[in-house]
Amino acid sequence: MSTELSPADFAKCIAARRAVDFIEDGMRLGLGTGSTAAFMVRRLGERVREEGLKVTGVPTSSRTAALAREEGIPVVTLEEAGWLDLTIDGADEVDGDFQLIKGGGGAHLQEKIVASASDRMIVIADGAKDVARLGVFPLPVEVICFGWQTTQKLLSEALEGRGHAGAAITRRMAGETPFISDEGNFILDLHLGQIHDARALSLVLNQIPGVVENGLFIDLCDIVVLGHEDGLVRIRDRASRTTREERADPDRPINAFADI
């Protein structure tokens, strides 16, 4: 196995590691899902083992739960934790208004519930996920399996009314079989190209029978931490509307064996 991260993974890793610096002793945490969130969980595990950091994690998927347990992070359900202090999660796209598309890993239902049950949400991503307008990344919509083709037709009609006539809708696959979410549902990916009003679209989609939840995250993200391949880290704060830039700490080397 190579001990070096690819440039894209390096950017994800430094964003994830910087976000873990926001975590304080005693926090109840939402732990996101995806490749960037995995770097975060591994770094959090390091702090738990090396610093004796006391935290409780609520995973947003079975994959994250398994990784957190491997890293020695205490894991509980959202019901057991109650309200959370902080959720740290990745994103497939984030715009200048702190709106997100999530769900590339098929976990956006649990991710949205956990983020909604948190005082703050920090989004971690590589710089390529920072976009002027959402929509190039296909928008995931989780739907129940019963009558999913009817739901797909209703989605097409709703999209036509929102200026997306002819937009392709594909059922997500896992090889030769349909992808099934942790809740036993299908994922339909909406290929929109550009979303003009994410807030309005989210409301419309969730009114359609058979739709469980869509991947638009509105008014949930508080801080965005973006890593770049040259080692630059940008931290955007929604409350203060400020952006600050830092450099990844050259004296804190990345454990490539742990972070790949």
The three-class DSSP label of residue 80 is helix
Please report the pLDDT score of residue 249 as a whole number: 73
Cα–chain-centroid distance for residue 2? 26
> What pLDDT digit, counting tens, does each position of 75-118 carry?
999 999 999 999 999 999 999 999 999 999 999 999 999 999 99
State yes or no: 52 annotated in a binding site.
Answer: no
Please state, in angstroms and as integers, the Cα–Cα distance from residue 143 to each residue in 57, 103, 120, 185, following that order. 27, 13, 27, 6
State yes or no: 104 annotated in a binding site.
Answer: yes
CATH class, domain 139-213, is: alpha beta
**Residues carrying an active site annotation:** 111
State yes or no: 105 annotated in a binding site.
Answer: yes
- Sequence-distant (6+) residues with CB within 8 A of 198 are 95, 99, 134, 216, 218
CATH class, domain 7-129+219-259, is: alpha beta
State yes or no: 90 annotated in a binding site.
Answer: yes
Single out the residue of 259, 233, 241, 221 nearest to residue 87, CA to CA: 221
State yes or no: 119 annotated in a binding site.
Answer: no
Please report the pLDDT score of residue 250 as a whole number: 56
State yes or no: 26 annotated in a binding site.
Answer: no
State yes or no: 35 annotated in a binding site.
Answer: yes
Q: What is the pLDDT along the chain (260 residues), one digit of tens a residue?
A: 335 899 999 999 999 999 999 999 999 999 999 999 999 999 999 999 999 999 999 999 999 999 999 999 999 999 999 999 999 999 999 999 999 999 999 999 999 999 999 999 999 999 999 999 999 999 999 999 999 999 999 999 999 999 999 999 999 999 999 999 999 999 999 999 999 999 999 999 999 999 999 999 999 999 999 999 999 999 999 999 999 999 987 555 555 445 54
Edge-to-edge strands of the sheet including 216-217?
Answer: 93-94, 100-101, 216-217
Q: Where do the structural domains in the chain lie, given as residue ranges?
A: 7-129+219-259, 139-213
Enumerate the H helices of the chain as residue ranges: 7-20, 35-51, 62-70, 78-81, 108-116, 148-161, 198-205, 256-259
